[in-house]
A and B are shown apart, each in its own frame.
Chain A
Amino acid sequence: MDFHSPRTWADALALKAEHPEAVPIAGGTDVMVELNFNRHRPPALIDISAVPELAQWDRADGHLRVGAGVSYTRLVRELGPRLPGLAMAARTVGSPQIRNRGTVGGNLGSASPAGDAHPPLLAGRASVELASVRGTRLVPVEEFFTGPKRSVLAADELISAFVVRPAPGPEQFCKVGTRNAMVIAVASFAISLDPEHGRVGTGIGSAAPTPRRAAGAEELLEAELSAAGMWERPRPLPDGLLHRFAELVTSAASPIDDVRGSAAYRRHALAIMARRALSWAWADLMRNGNAPCN
């Protein structure tokens, strides 16, 4: 097996173009499990963990551009207040050991329907930046996943970053599993509220072949809240609205029975998480007015 250790982004892209079959390794928290159990012996590894460009984040035209190699630990520490939903999700990933190594780039690269970064990225309408020697393209997260563990990432491409607006308002993330730590989600849900523009973002995890939005639920909430003038003057949400929102979130999912949970349980859990996440986010909004947090 070949082991490539590029020290610059240009070298990493050149190596991936030259060896499209080589597997990139960042934090290794997915790749090494495969290797240790002999599930997969790639012909080559490209270690991108020492490429400085991937470990950086910065701000540009009102957006954050976060390098694919920023670890969950750093995300929580350095970007927590700007990306509260993603930071909440990052806090639930594995253990301190896993969060020190694991990256959002690796989460996207694995493209598991249960990846915890995905629902908040969907809710925040983030884009994934993909790069190759051919050039760079920006793909909305919603279009990134094509199936379980499959994405639009081409063989010669690497994920360079994700691009997202700092949270325009309250965000929440909920996840159910068998215990509080070290758990792959049985189902998860993220919400992001944008009071200034009257927009709602959602993301569902572990309850469909890919992470996905609940577009119907977003539209319902946007329509009802603006009709009632509730964005300008937040009042407690009517129970009926919470209920219909949860129903539309559940109907956007298409869960299956597997070792971690049944489809029926996932639907049930999703409805409860959708209700809770929305109530908590709305309570934040009522407390803080509609001041954007950044």
Chain B
Amino acid sequence: MQLRLEVNGVPYETDDVWEGESLLYVLRERLGLWGSKNACEQGECGSCSVLLDGELVCSCLVAAGQAQGRHVVTVEGLGRDGRMSAVQEAFLEAGAVQCGFCTPGLVVATEDLLRHNPAPSDVEIREALAGNLCRCTGYEKVLDAVRAAAGTSR
């Protein structure tokens, strides 16, 4: 099938998409947007998190055809003018990035959290990031980063 969608404000059109492939596959393998990571393909790790029409979803669980005509924001679309977003800066500053595999998903999920709740409590941060697994940091630095980002975006 032919798929048309907008990613990070840019319209894309791609042919020969298999209807049952995931939005994650489309982003990575067809559009060359490798920011969203593929670790589990079953919704467990959150490293493929993107915003679909403004809603936080696992792109591995969205069928390509379901993304037809929709607006997607990936980690590549968070910064402005070649600069990282406040959340991305905070992750870097706090040392919340080790191997970095989980980072795009965590950053997108954090952006989503702070959009809805600019001053989250620790419990709210934990709840909001419960769908994002990190095998390296032990999450403490991630919490630091989110708290810091909430401070700067306040």
Contacts and interface: CB of A to CB of B under 8 A. Distances in A.
Given A45-B65, A95-B130, A95-B132, 7 more contacts: A28-B63, A33-B61, A47-B63, A47-B65, A94-B43, A97-B49, A98-B58
A33 B60 CA distance: 8
B62 interface: yes
Contacts, number: 91
17 contacts: A1-B20, A25-B63, A28-B63, A29-B61, A32-B22, A32-B43, A32-B62, A33-B41, A37-B41, A45-B63, A49-B66, A97-B49, A97-B56, A97-B57, A97-B61, A101-B62, A181-B130
A166 B66 CA distance: 32
A41 B20 contact: yes
A145 B57 CA distance: 29
Interface of A: 1-3, 5, 25, 27-29, 31-33, 35-37, 41, 45, 47, 49-50, 94-98, 100-101, 180-182
Contacts of B19: 1-3, 45
Interface of B: 1, 18-20, 22, 41-44, 46, 49, 55-58, 60-63, 65-66, 68, 109, 112, 127-128, 130-132
Q: Which A-B residue pairs are the 5 nearest by beta carbons?
A: A95-B131, A181-B130, A3-B19, A3-B65, A36-B41
Contacts of A25: 63, 66
Nearest to B70: A50
Contacts of B18: 1
A4 to B, nearest CB: 9
A97 to B, nearest CB: 5
B60 A182 contact: no
Given A1-B20, A45-B19, A96 B43 contact: no
Given A28-B61, A49-B66, A181 B131 contact: yes
Best-buried of B49, B58, B60 by chain A (most CB within 10 Å)? B58
